[in-house]
């Protein structure tokens, strides 16, 4: 198993070349398995009983995820599992979902404004392995090459094997000198870049909607990318700071 400090690129299952990837799942390859309670904000969104996307618990009734994880889906067919690092262990809380609140400006072609809030049918029991994560401030920013943390239940190899265990790894934030629309067509102010220029460790299927954190705060949401391990191509994350007021307005957080 490689070190947690291996840098990964998290991508959605993409069409090849310079096309915005599709809305399937993504995965962590490399990194380390998380211990119980290490990421108490982590959510597994289950569609028809199978892991579908990641999410982050921001209150006892609200989850932040990607809009493409909820677009076209029915709340009645999705459940949220919190408080576990192993989906087979049976030690998490499984919660019903009452409502999807998809950002009204979400564009499924460009993946701009790729954010959704999920309102749970009832509050989760907080404490122990279940805690909320603090959101980054509006317009929060970090220096280039700052190391962020990504976590998720996605697949771990090219055979799309789902381990059902939570993994995490470090990703490197890119500066706007490289992370801009001139270098990456389709990139907007609602997106941030993270990954490794070499694409030496990559990801393709199951962590969409999951958290990218810096200093213990939710800074990004896994959104889209180009191919798997494409050299010079980072992964794109929805920038929480840019949508902070919308979250406050709709989640009261």
| Residues classed as catalytic | 68, 114, 208
- The dihedral through the CA atoms of 112, 113, 118, 124 has a sign that is positive
Q: Is 185 exposed, middle or buried (0-12, 13-18, 19+ CB in 10 A)?
A: exposed
DSSP 55: E
Q: For the chain, what is the radius of gyration of the CA atoms?
A: 16
3-state secondary structure (DSSP) of residue 130: strand
Backbone angle region of 97, left / alpha / beta, with phi > 0 → left and psi within -120 to 50 → alpha:
beta
Q: Name the CA dihedral angle for 20, 63, 164, 230, rounded to a multiple of 10 degrees.
A: 20
Alpha-carbon 150 to chain mean position: 7
Q: Where are the beta strands (DSSP E) in 41-115?
A: 42-47, 50-57, 62-65, 78-82, 93-102
- Which pair of structure tokens corresponds to residue 209? 């909607």
């Amino acid at each position: 198993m490689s070190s947690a400090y291996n840098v990964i690129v998290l991508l959605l299952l993409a069409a090849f070349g310079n096309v915005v990837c599709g809305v399937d799942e993504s995965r962590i390859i490399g990194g380390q398995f998380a211990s119980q309670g290490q990421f108490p904000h982590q959510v597994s969104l289950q569609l028809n009983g199978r892991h579908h996307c990641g999410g982050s618990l921001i209150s006892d009734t609200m989850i932040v995820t990607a809009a493409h994880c909820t677009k076209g889906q029915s709340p009645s067919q999705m459940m949220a599992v919190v408080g576990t690092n192993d989906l087979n262990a049976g030690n998490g809380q499984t919660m019903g979902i009452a409502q999807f609140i998809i950002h009204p400006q979400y564009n499924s072609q460009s993946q701009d404004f790729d954010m959704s809030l999920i309102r749970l049918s009832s509050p989760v029991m907080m404490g122990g392995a279940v805690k909320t994560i603090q959101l980054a401030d509006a317009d929060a920013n970090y220096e280039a090459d700052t190391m962020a943390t990504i976590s998720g239940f996605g697949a771990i190899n090219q055979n799309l094997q789902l381990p059902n265990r939570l993994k995490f790894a470090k990703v490197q934030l890119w500066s706007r000198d490289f992370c801009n629309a001139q270098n990456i067509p389709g990139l907007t102010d609602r997106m941030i870049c993270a990954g490794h220029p070499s694409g030496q460790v990559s990801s393709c299927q199951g962590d969409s909607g999951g958290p990218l954190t810096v200093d213990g705060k939710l800074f990004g949401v896994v959104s889209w990318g180009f191919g798997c391990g494409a050299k010079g191509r980072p992964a794109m994350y929805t920038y929480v700071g840019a949508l902070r007021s919308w979250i406050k307005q709709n989640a009261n957080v």
